[in-house]
Amino acid sequence: MIRAGVAMITLLAVAPALADDAPPPPVRTEPPVVGFIDTARPFCYAREYDAAHMKSHPRQKVTGIALTYVPEKLFPETDEPQKMWDQYADAPAFNAIMAVTFAGKPGVALGGAYCRTGSSKMLECGIEGDGGGFNVLIQEDGRVKLVNEGGFSVAYPSDNPDEDGEGAFVDPKDDQTAFLMSETKGGLCDADW
């Protein structure tokens, strides 16, 4: 029995070292399907709330929300467009922009979202910089439901690129545990860094 215990401890001690020696996953050369998203094409799921909705949900602070994705993006510091789908992840994943407007605050708060497959009907997304996370579920009618159980952070862009902008938190306690969004264009879908 002691030998079996020692063998198990030895195996557990060696296992991380063996995992470090494993080859990295192959580089993806084609945009993957991530859950229900084909990352070869752009998309934007968004929702803007009218005055009647906001009046009937007085605790809700979010007046508009969008999750937007493009397959490639040109950044000011790069010469070539960068792939927004993850070529190197061991599971299919992509980078997107979360755009949010809040009652009583001008402008659009943004967050970098990293989404991966949770299942064929669900994405698991996190906001970069430990900004929390959310799940996105495809609905029967083609809309998506963003489920916000723990909350997530976004920030208003700063005029100074070396500084972080003012942060904002999408708190589920403020009647914001879920957002039903439709695929659309324009409006918050055009928000960018």
> Is residue 94 in a domain?
yes
Q: Is 25 part of a structural domain of the chain?
A: no
10 part of a folded domain: no
88-131 pLDDT, tens per residue? 988 899 999 999 999 999 999 999 999 999 899 999 999 998 99
Number of folded domains that form the chain:
1
Q: Please compute the mean of the pLDDT values over residues 43-51 and round it to a whole number.
A: 97
Total-model pTM = 0.83
How does pLDDT run across 146-189, given as a tens digit for each residue?
999 999 999 998 776 666 678 899 999 999 999 999 999 999 99
Measured CA to CA, the distance from residue 115 to residue 129 in angstroms comes to: 14
In a domain, 11, yes or no: no
In a domain, 4, yes or no: no
Domain extent at residue 60:
32-190
Q: Which helix (H) or strand (E) holds 138?
A: strand 133-138
Does residue 84 lie in a domain region? yes
Per-residue pLDDT, 162: 67
Q: Is residue 19 part of a domain?
A: no
Query: CA–CA separation, 79 vs 51, rounded Å?
Result: 43
Residue 173 phi, psi dihedral angles, 5° rounding? -65, -20
pLDDT for residue 18 is more than 90? no
Whether 13 is in a domain gets the answer: no
- What CA–CA distance (Å, rounded) separates 134 from 149? 7
